[in-house]
Amino acid sequence: MTRENTIGNGEITSFVLEGVKSWEDPRIKPEWIEQILNCRNSSGFVPTDDDVRRHLHGDVLTLGFRNEIVVGFNCIEFKSPKEVWGGLITDHELPSDPGVYLAGVLIDGSAQKSGFYQRMNKDRVTRGVEKGFNIIFTETANPNVEAGIKDTLDSMKENGQIVDYSMEDRIYLKALYGRRMYTEAPKNAKVSFDDLNYDAGDAYAIIFHLTLK
């Protein structure tokens, strides 16, 4: 097992693995998978066990630990929107330059609204900026995801880490998940996704363009 990078954040410590092909990567302990499935149970998000496992891979996989128990993960891929969504979205011109694809995030209910998500977002965007990538993108039905990315980019702009950013119009992905994915539709004070049909599993594709220094 290699601790490739650790970042302290109060009581939650991040453990970063690079080049993870699947959840069966030997660096991921079986008990961590169980703990991640437990995170799902208190998160308000109801993917199947297989859905959760299938998301555990990426160019960078970050696990958050509190008292040696996993309380969340996120994964990113360095790809272009065209590579990721080309087969799914055919009625929009998708950027073909590489960027940071926010491929999956899940945080235990007890670790939400703790600053952990924001710290992970900053790390994810910074990794792309360091590579000279100016696109950040994801698909989601959770307005907290869009709001969180905007908060991160606002603070990076304030700190002078990026010059500016803009978001393309959201692309509506009808019945992307094919079923209801949230016990209750997630809400955010600044961003509304009220147009989505949560029962049908609708989502949005969102793409941010950054102006780098």
Ligand X SMILES: CC(C)(COP(=O)(O)OP(=O)(O)OC[C@H]1O[C@@H](n2cnc3c(N)ncnc32)[C@H](O)[C@@H]1OP(=O)(O)O)[C@@H](O)C(=O)NCCC(=O)NCCS
Interacting residues toward ligand X by CB under 6 A: 43-45, 105-107, 112-115, 117-118, 140, 142, 144-145, 147-148, 188-190
Report, in Å, the least distance between residue 107 CB and ligand X.
Answer: 4
Length of the chain, please? 213
When the beta carbons of 110 and 166 are compared against ligand X, the nearer one is 110
When the beta carbons of 80 and 152 are compared against ligand X, the nearer one is 152
When the beta carbons of 1 and 23 are compared against ligand X, the nearer one is 23
Report, in Å, the least distance between residue 209 CB and ligand X.
Answer: 20
CA 205 to chain centre: 12
When the beta carbons of 206 and 210 are compared against ligand X, the nearer one is 206
For 38-151, strand residue ranges (E) read 58-66, 69-79, 99-107, 135-140
Report, in Å, the least distance between residue 105 CB and ligand X.
Answer: 4
CA–CA gap between residue 101 and residue 21 (Å, rounded) = 15
Give 33-40's long-range contacts (Cβ < 8 A, gap of 24+).
Answer: 35/69, 35/70, 35/71, 36/63, 36/70, 36/73, 36/106, 38/108, 39/70, 39/71, 39/72, 39/73, 39/106, 39/107, 39/108, 39/111, 40/106
The structure tokens 């970050």 sit at 62
When the beta carbons of 1 and 189 are compared against ligand X, the nearer one is 189
CA–CA gap between residue 83 and residue 93 (Å, rounded) = 12
Report, in Å, the least distance between residue 93 CB and ligand X.
Answer: 23
Report, in Å, the least distance between residue 132 CB and ligand X.
Answer: 26
CA–CA gap between residue 196 and residue 213 (Å, rounded) = 36
Q: Tell me if residue 1 falls in helix, strand or coil.
A: coil
Report, in Å, the least distance between residue 160 CB and ligand X.
Answer: 22
The structure tokens 């453990």 sit at 15
When the beta carbons of 134 and 142 are compared against ligand X, the nearer one is 142
User: From residue 192, how far is each of 89, 115, 141 by CA, in Å?
Assistant: 22, 21, 10
